[in-house]
Amino acid sequence: MRCSTWRRKSYDCFAVVLFSLVATHADIDLETVAQLSNGSSEVASSALADSQLVSGAVVLATCNRYEIYGETPHVENLEAARSALVTQISGLSGLNEQLVSRAFSTRTGPEVSRHLFAVSAGLDSAVVGEREIAGQVRRALITAQHEGTASSGLVRLFQAASKTAKDVGAQTALGSRGLSIVSVALDLATDLSENADWSTKKVVVFGTGAYAGATMSLLRERGCTDVSVYSSSGRAEAFVATRGGTALDAETLPAAVAAADVMIGCSGSDTRVEAAELARVRALSPQTLIAIDLALTHDFDPAVGELDGVELLTLESVRLAAPQEQAESLAQASTIVSGAAAAFEQEREARSVDSAIVALRRHTMSVLDAEMEKVRARHGCTAAAEEVEFALRRMVKQLLHIPTVRARELAANGQQDEYVAALEALYGIQVEQPVAAAPAAECPVDHQQAPQQAESA
């Protein structure tokens, strides 16, 4: 079917289609989010390798959301591309396809940019205005670029999202209090403690990823100096070398936990603290232990919260306790996000008419070249012929100026299908739809361990 016979929005017709699959704390429980996220590091590369319908993919997996941003060459492929991703997620997570499909909501068109921009700005977080999510959005793009799964359209989308987050931070008071999931969790721990002085507390941190780094920084701000770090992957020594603290191994971990006032899980590794083992280790400990589990897949057995002398705080605890930002700040941030999303979509509309502009220029220049061949055949390569060619090319450039401007104006209003129909009616020009770039060669790096699930969350 020729594009000129369609009567749809321009992003359906001449540009590749962006879409997203979204599963967050706002719609489903965090346990399901965690289950869906199993194997998240392999989803994008597997989808591109197994299906030509997915021409780009970026995965955003955090402690309370799992989102896949995809690109498909044509709108007719959208449902099939979504199904391809659902199949990949099902295979990697071990969940059946129907459950996976129901867990994800699908966004297309302008809703894709509006949602991602709001996420990056912290408007869709459990802790509204949190700082950490903007960095996670940036890292999601970097990972996709490294693995060769980020198409040019998705790169522009994520870069625009990061810029929007910066604008919200610079132009509003949202997040100025430095709220984050970690900070709210520490506030809760303070409320539960008999002694609110963090300088007297002994803390054990599990993990060496981004959350662990943020935790170390906030503990220092609160005056806590007795911090030990354990990493099941053996990265604790390198981690404390730049952040302070004491590195633990499997032999020294039990004694540190026995003496701890607080333990904080940030790793999401396959190894977790079981309730029975914790009860044994803490059998002679007189003080209450506050266990803060910030890992989506649980560093601590949920049953530890039932032990005597243990208070368990989870991501759900943080979500319920997160303070609300001022309505004025939220309104300002929402306005910035909406404006940025609208500008991004206008730019996409303008880009989508590029094929038509190129086709018109190619047609016009081919006519010019044919005429110049006649001139050279009659007059040879003389100065007169060169003057004629110079004059004709200048005239063609002037003639193309207004059609080019009009093309971009129509594209900005979603009317480039009318422009293409006019080119076909007037000149017989057939505009070819852009072909999505092939995915990059497979990355030789082993990505079996999901970054967000294994100490880089």
Angstrom distances, CA of residue 30 to CA of 38, 210, 369: 13, 19, 64
What letter would DSSP give residue 273? Answer: B
> Residue 49's closest CA among 77, 84, 10?
84
**Phi, psi at 373, each rounded to 5°:** -60, -40
Residue 194 CA to residue 149 CA, distance in Å, equals 50
Q: Annotated catalytic residue: which of 3, 13, 63, 224?
A: 63
CA angle, 441 then 443 then 447, to 5°: 145
Residue 138: partners with Cβ closer than 8 Å, 6 or more residues away: 158, 162
Interior/surface letters 253-271, b for 16+ CB within 10 angstroms, e for the rest: beebbbbbbbbbbbbbbee
Q: Give me the long-range contacts of 105-109 (CB less than 8 A, separation at least 24).
A: 105/21, 105/22, 105/23, 105/27, 106/19, 106/20, 106/21, 106/22, 106/82, 107/19, 107/20, 107/22, 108/17, 108/18, 108/19, 108/78, 109/9, 109/11, 109/18, 109/345
CA angle, 426 then 429 then 431, to 5°: 130
63 counts as catalytic: yes
Contact present, 123 and 333 (Cβ < 8 Å):
yes
Residue 283 CA to residue 20 CA, distance in Å, equals 49
Q: Which residues on adjacent β-strands are paired with residue 182?
A: none
Residue 410 CA to residue 237 CA, distance in Å, equals 59
Tokens of 439: 């995915």
> Residue 245's closest CA among 236, 258, 253, 254?
236
What letter would DSSP give residue 453? Answer: T
Alpha carbon 273 to chain centroid distance?
30
User: Which of the residues are catalytic?
Assistant: 63
